[in-house]
């Protein structure tokens, strides 16, 4: 049953409420304008759709309602519906937004050949289409760690850095360095032998001396590399490769990807349902 997240529908309801007091050009004659597997779409459904979707394009509304009907039939077959109290609350919300009672809302609807029942049934179908379907699709769709990594790379928001130990040796001590290297490759022992200090740096590409930077970014973790300039010899060991994500939080990105996947799956489902359904547009 769909009984949560009414706020997610409130935008649509408030849009509807802003328009519901407008007068139609003429009284409704509640005829069938389309059918989906024998289930009729009525003129009253189209009028409510025009208000809800904020358009006067009848063809566009009928096309949308066909999708709504298909999803409703699919969910009804799985025993999924909308709680009556949710629909009742929605009607009260619409009435309150128009500064009227339910009776006043009913009177306004009756002027246009519509009833509270018409509105309630329209909202029932729209809630299933916009929310209820995800109760099913969430069982089929997930966002994996790989999905997140690929999306971060696609957005170019991943910054790679390298954690390195660097020993800077004056060139006049090059001979002492060579002799020390014959005894050990451990940078801290080399530093101790030369009376120097090892620096631990987290660097991006291009932040080191050119000759050393190239070697560091071509090295594997654990490798010791060398670089030099006119005055110094540089010895560096790559300790770790780190990736820092600069965009949205992982939770926000995961939610965004999930919504995208759900919409894609919903679109795919609708395409499959249309292939298997008998849809008749009368106009």
Q: What is the pLDDT of residue 52?
A: 85
Q: What is the pLDDT of residue 246?
A: 73
Query: Do residues 75 and 136 make contact, with C-beta atoms less than 8 angstroms apart?
Result: yes
HEC-encoded secondary structure of 49-114:
HHHHHCCCCHHHHHHHHHHHHHHHHHHHCCCCCECHHHHHHHHHHHHHHCCCCHHHHHHHHHHCCC
Radius of gyration of the chain measured on its C-alpha atoms: 33
Query: Do residues 237 and 187 make contact, with C-beta atoms less than 8 angstroms apart?
Result: yes
Distance CA 62, CA 46 (A): 6
Distance CA 224, CA 20 (A): 74
Q: What is the pLDDT of residue 51?
A: 83
Query: Do residues 102 and 116 make contact, with C-beta atoms less than 8 angstroms apart?
Result: yes
The dihedral built from the CA positions of residue 19, 21, 27 and 30, taken in this order, carries a sign that is positive
Query: Do residues 75 and 133 make contact, with C-beta atoms less than 8 angstroms apart?
Result: yes
Is residue 180 helix, strand or coil?
A: helix
Sheet holding 232-245, edge to edge: 199-203, 158-170, 232-245, 224-228
Distance CA 41, CA 280 (A): 10
Q: What is the pLDDT of residue 7?
A: 30
Sheet holding 32-36, edge to edge: 39-42, 32-36, 279-281
pLDDT in tens, the chain (283 residues): 333 322 332 334 433 443 344 334 344 456 899 999 999 999 999 989 988 888 899 999 999 999 999 999 999 999 998 999 999 998 998 888 888 899 988 888 888 788 899 999 999 999 999 989 998 999 998 888 888 878 877 776 678 899 999 999 999 999 998 998 889 989 999 989 999 999 999 999 999 999 999 999 999 999 999 999 989 999 999 999 987 777 777 788 888 899 999 999 999 999 999 999 999 999 7
Secondary structure E strands in the chain: 32-36, 39-42, 158-170, 199-203, 224-228, 232-245, 279-281
Distance CA 174, CA 4 (A): 73
Total number of residues shown for the chain: 283
Q: What is the pLDDT of residue 160?
A: 87
């Amino acid at each position: 049953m769909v009984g949560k997240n009414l706020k997610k529908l409130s935008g649509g309801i408030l849009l509807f409420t802003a328009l519901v007091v407008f007068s139609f050009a003429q009284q409704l004659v509640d005829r069938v304008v389309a059918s989906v597997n024998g289930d009729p779409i009525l003129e009253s459904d189209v009028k409510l759709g025009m208000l809800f979707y904020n358009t006067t394009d009848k063809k566009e509304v009928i096309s949308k309602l066909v999708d709504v009907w298909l999803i409703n039939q699919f969910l009804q077959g799985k025993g999924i519906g909308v709680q009556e109290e949710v629909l009742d609350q929605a009607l009260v919300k619409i009435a309150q937004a128009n500064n009227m009672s339910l009776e006043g809302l009913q009177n306004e609807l009756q002027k246009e050949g519509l009833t509270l029942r018409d509105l309630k049934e329209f909202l029932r179908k729209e809630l299933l289409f916009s929310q209820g379907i995800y109760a099913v699709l969430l069982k089929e769709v997930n966002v994996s760690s790989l999905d997140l990594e690929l999306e971060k790379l696609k957005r170019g928001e991943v910054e790679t850095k390298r954690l390195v130990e660097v020993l800077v040796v004056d060139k006049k001590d090059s001979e002492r360095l060579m002799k020390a290297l014959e005894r050990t490759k451990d940078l801290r022992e080399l530093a101790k032998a030369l009376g120097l200090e090892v620096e631990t740096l987290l660097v991006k590409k291009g932040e080191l001396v050119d000759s050393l930077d190239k070697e560091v970014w071509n090295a594997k973790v654990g490798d010791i590399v060398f670089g030099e300039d006119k005055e110094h010899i540089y010895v560096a060991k790559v300790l770790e490769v780190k990736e820092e994500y600069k965009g949205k939080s992982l939770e926000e990105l995961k939610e965004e990807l999930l919504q995208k996947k759900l919409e894609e799956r919903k679109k795919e489902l609708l395409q499959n349902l249309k292939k298997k359904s008998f849809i008749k547009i009368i106009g």
